[in-house]
Amino acid sequence: MARILALDYGKKRTGVAVTDPLQLIATALDTVDTGELIGFLKKYFREEPVERVLIGYPVNFDGSSTDATPLVEKFVGKFRNVFPELPVELVDERMSSVMASQAIREMGLKRKDRQRKELVDAVSAVILLQEYLQSRS
């Protein structure tokens, strides 16, 4: 089986999470500078089979667009042009950053480590992916 990859896309950084080949467990893969994301993905896709890509879609609680929504939509268009063979699914990312921050606090990390934004981005991607996996079962 191929993996499923999730992206918590951001203007500066993007959190990347991936499943195991059996698609049972979501783990953080990396946090990548957004400007280097396509190159990172090209390399990863050459090394690992990926069945689909989930991209966090930012919306407000009422379902309306956020300031980040157009950025994600632009990236999705670029992604589909570069990787036309890979299915892309947009997933609601409401509360993923809040949940990630809470999960990081509960891990008992030192305050300095908890404040690392790249850690929040990676954990947010894991949460998006884990919620997707749970919704399928």
Q: What's the mean pLDDT when you consider all of the chain?
A: 86
Q: Is 77 helix (H, G, I), strand (E, B) or coil?
A: helix
Nearest Cα neighbor of 61 from 25, 108, 93 is 93
pTM here? 0.84
According to DSSP, the residues that pair with 18 across neighbouring strands are 5, 27
Q: Are strands 3-8 and 50-57 parallel, antiparallel or unpaired?
A: parallel
pLDDT tens per residue, range 112-125? 554 556 667 788 89
Tell me if residue 17 falls in helix, strand or coil.
Answer: strand
Phi, psi values for residue 19, rounded to 5°: -90, 165
Per-residue pLDDT of 46-80, as tens digits, reads 999 999 999 999 887 787 778 889 999 999 999 99
3-state secondary structure of 50: strand
Q: What is the pLDDT of residue 99?
A: 56
Has residue 109 got a pLDDT over 60? no
